[in-house]
Copies of this chain bind each other. A is one copy, B any other.
């Protein structure tokens, strides 16, 4: 997650390597996540505040599980470099992302106590338990594939919103959210992650395992789409 000047120049190539192939083959599932009504309402600034708050609360609880996923990745690593990389991500999540999320939530009127005390939504848990289960029963590649839609998707969503003529940035209360995930730092992180995933895939036999990996990726995309439902009232509550 840390990024120096050089990597700040990197931009994600969503078509690249293993990730590119998975994204293409996940087709409708990927689209249901990337182009969810919640996302479009964010872009237009029409999402009701209370719905976004519901999302923010569960996104906080999600970050805790996401940190556990990178701990699992570190444990599942075969080399010191891989352990270090997972630890860096984990530390960035705990020491940078989570405090940032907490202050961002405060701007939306949510106290840390509210975040911590909120009951976990079943849709948040469904995705978290999915990637934790894939990681526990498979190897690090199975885990990383289950996490990839989360990591990469937010960058693609923010980029698409910026490019979309129906997006309204002026006066949009969600502009900071969009800016954050379309910023150079996050984009560089994603660019690197796409390259690293391809390298991990080569080392762990992604080609031969593709039938299994695409199922994992497709399912993770559907669970991400379902997650947006937390902030999209018309969907059934979990």
Contact = CB atoms under 8 A, between A and B. Distances in A.
Contact of A136 (B78, B136, B207, B208): B136
Interface of A is mostly: helix
Contacts of A69: 75
Contact of A90 (B64, B78, B80, B87): B87
Interface stretch (A42-50, A103-111, A177-185, A197-205): A197-205
B68 A74 contact: yes
A29 to B, nearest CB: 11
Nearest to A142: B139
Count of chain copies: 4
Interface residues of A, number: 50
A60 to B, nearest CB: 10
A25 interface: no
Interface string A190-229: 0000000000001111111100100000010011001000
A71 B83 contact: yes
A90 B74 contact: yes
